Amino acid sequence: MRPIRETLPMDEALALVMDAARPTVRTERVTLREATGRVLSASAVAAIDVPPFDRAAMDGYAVIAEDTFGAGRYDPKVLRCVEKVYTGEVPTRALSPGECIEIATGAPMPTGADAVVMVEETEKVDNRDVRIFTPV
């Protein structure tokens, strides 16, 4: 990977992007099979949520994001792990400040949690406590 040697001021970069962008001239209806590689001319909104619950997008720890603010590699936050939730299971309790729940990808988010810390950004201290090395 090459290092970045120079950058553009934001207004110049935006001007370049806007000059390269072209407005949609026409629209047409096509089948889903024919839609590959095309751009939508209007927003697509699903009638129902699938799945019908908020779920973890990665393995890690469900947390209250504010509990991780200020966390760093040399100054981690320590949270109490109160449950494990695997895919296909449902959390049995709500999350409280200072707590986290170990969670698998696809598992439902517990009530009170608003973020997941990737497992790679954590370290188990013992059977209950977890060090969090990055804010989310």
Question: Using one digit for the tens of pLDDT, what is the confidence trace for 64-74?
Answer: 999 999 999 99
Compute the distance between CA of residue 117 and CA of residue 105 in angstroms, rounded to an integer: 12
Residue that wins the pLDDT comparison between 3 and 119: 119
Whether the pLDDT of residue 27 is over 80: the answer is: yes
Amino acid at site 72: G
CA dihedral 99, 104, 108, 114 (to 10 degrees): 40
Asked if omega into 51 is within 30° of 0 (cis), the reply is: yes
Whether the pLDDT of residue 23 is over 90: the answer is: no
pTM: 0.70
Nearest to 67 by CA among 51, 85, 82: 82
Whether the pLDDT of residue 5 is over 80: the answer is: no
Q: What is the mean pLDDT of residues 77-87?
A: 97
- What's residue 53's pLDDT? 92
- What domains, with CATH codes, occur in the chain? 60-132 (2.170.190.11)
Nearest to 98 by CA among 132, 127, 53: 132
Q: Which two tokens mark 10?
A: 């934001």
Nearest to 81 by CA among 49, 106, 113: 113
